[in-house]
Amino acid sequence: MKRIQDFNVISYTWLNDDNYIITLGSETDIECVEPGNFAEIKVPNSPDVFLRRPISILDVDHQNNTIKFYIKAIGKGTRQLGNLDINSSLNIVYPLGNSFSVIKKKRALIVGGGSGIAPFILLASKLKDENTEVTFLIGGRTSGDVFLTDEFGRYGEVLVTTEDGSLGEKGMVTQHSVFSRTMDFDLIYTCGPDPMMKAVANIASEKGIDCEASLENMMACGIGACLCCVTPTIRGNECVCTEGPVFNSKDLVW
């Protein structure tokens, strides 16, 4: 069930100047979260930020009632969320949106870039529970843009590309040698910048592999009430916040 809940800021982990993980705690239970779900976070003490901000759920801990987000500070809201006092309170509406399909006893490729890697920790852990073998392919401009590889390593092989070659193979994710190998994946998951996802979806379709992409969009409500966040699909305009954020790339008109 969707819920509006108050949390306290427990801690920050800064990955570099702009990227951080924020951990929130609550007195009450945390709702069950599926991989791909997101939250609408109210940014406190920020005169410039009027609407909530949609952020994927990185991880939840039902034992300790904590929830984590991985955020890239790109504007006023995401910056202010990285600048709160420990223990200060924060209001979130969650869990929102649909989720990735969790396939059983298969092989999956997960391709992410930028803040698009956030949903993949939860996804990988569910896939592992279902005995699906996971390969990660994470891209960034430089080695400084590639995060969470250690965490991903706990769930499968981690491949990296950087545009400057400072980590892993040099080039864009879609230029990685994994795509020239036998592509015996049953499903490709992707989340990140639109051009990256499109390129990945194209390769998937060429190779006849299903591909699920998690989209972003400008959102007002996050719960399907305003119809602001549509993306064109073969079925017409659909809301990224409710019919998405995860779409089968075959259905997308992009």
Ligand X SMILES: Cc1cc2nc3c(=O)[nH]c(=O)nc-3n(C[C@H](O)[C@H](O)[C@H](O)COP(=O)(O)O)c2cc1C
SS3 of residue 116 by DSSP: helix
55 binds another protein (CB under 8 A): no
216 binds ligand FAD (CB under 6 A): yes
Q: Considering the complex, what minimum distance in angstroms separates the CB of residue 78 from ligand FAD?
A: 3
From residue 60 to residue 89, the character string flagging contacts with its own copies as x (rule: CB under 8 A) and all else as - is -------------------------x----
**Intra-chain end-to-end CA distance of the chain, in Å:** 31
CB-based contact 85:57 (threshold 8 Å): no
Q: How far is CA 61 from CA 65, 122, 140, 225, in A?
A: 6, 11, 28, 29
Q: Which member of 9, 30, 33, 49 binds ligand FAD (CB under 6 A)?
A: 49
**Contact partner at residue 230 from its own copies, ligand FAD, another protein, none, CB < 5 to 8 Å by partner kind:** another protein
Q: Measure the CA–CA gap between 126 and 100, rounded to whole angstroms.
A: 10
**Contact partner at residue 49 from ligand FES, ligand FAD, ligand X, none, CB < 5 to 8 Å by partner kind:** ligand FAD
Q: Which member of 23, 56, 99, 161 binds ligand FAD (CB under 6 A)?
A: 56
From residue 224 to residue 243, the character string flagging contacts with another protein as x (rule: CB under 8 A) and all else as - is xxxxxxxxx---xx------
Q: Measure the CA–CA gap between 56 and 39, rounded to whole angstroms.
A: 6
Residues that bind ligand X (CB under 6 A): 226, 228
Q: Which member of 35, 42, 81, 111 binds another protein (CB under 8 A)?
A: 42
Report 140-159 residues binding ligand FES (CB under 6 A): none
245 cis-preceded (ω within 30 degrees of 0): yes
Nearer to ligand FAD, 42 or 53 (CB): 53
Report 185-244 residues binding ligand FES (CB under 6 A): 219-222, 224-229, 239, 241
47 binds its own copies (CB under 8 A): yes
Q: What is the DSSP letter of 115?
A: G
Site stretch for its own copies (CB under 8 A), options 14-22, 44-52, 155-163, 194-202: 44-52
- 85 burial (CB, 10 Å; 0-12 / 13-18 / 19+) is exposed
Q: How far is CA 104 from CA 136, 167, 213, 227, in A?
A: 17, 31, 19, 34
